[in-house]
Amino acid sequence: MVKLVLSASLVLFAAITALAVPSPAPAAMAQGKKADPTKDLYVSNCQMCHGPDGVSPIKDMSFVGRQWKTTTTAEAVKVITNGVPGTVMLPFENKLKKEQITALARYVRALDTPQARKKK
Ligand code: HEC
């Protein structure tokens, strides 16, 4: 009986340690690609609406081939910072740092290239 309890707690210990060990390098690094922190931010905060690489099936949310409402990076920064009232575009002012928002504004504007439009 003691032995059984001991081995059960060993299994539990192993499971806990497995959870505590940080996961291996992100897939991008494993593939030898350079990690892009802005892309990571995009994937975790924006992709669920704006789609992978800015291509969303919902026209209003697609960055590629978009009828952009903002025309400059500064305006895009404002939208990301303050959101668009009355839409699901929420403010990221309290979630992201200023530099991160600026980087994201550049990043999403750069997704809308003629090549990307052709592929769409
Ligand atoms: C919950 C869904 C959702 C999320 C998450 C989201 N957006 Fe948006 N976003 C929208 C919608 C909807 C619009 C269009 C608003 C409108 O009609 O003006 C928009 C508009 C924008 C625009 C303005 C585009 C233009 O036409 O000029 C930018 C820039 C933008 N989003 C960037 C981001 C970034 C960067 C993130 C992540 C930090 C993000 N969004 C996260 C839904 C979302």
Give the predicted TM-score (pTM) of the model. Answer: 0.79
Sign of CA dihedral 37, 88, 82, 95: negative
Give the CATH number of domain 28-119; options: 3.90.1640.30, 1.20.1050.10, 1.10.760.10, 1.10.8.100: 1.10.760.10
pLDDT digits (tens, 9 = 90+) for 17-64: 555 545 445 554 556 667 899 999 999 999 999 999 999 999 889 999
What is the CA(89)–ligand 1 centre distance, in A?
Answer: 5
List the domain boundaries for the chain.
28-119
Residue 104 and residue 78: Cα distance in Å, rounded? 12
Per-residue pLDDT averaged across 6-25, rounded?
Answer: 53
Q: What residues flank ligand 1, with Cβ below 6 Å? A: 45-46, 48-50, 60-61, 66, 68-70, 76, 79-80, 84, 87-89, 92, 104, 108
Q: Which helix (H) or strand (E) holds 62?
A: none
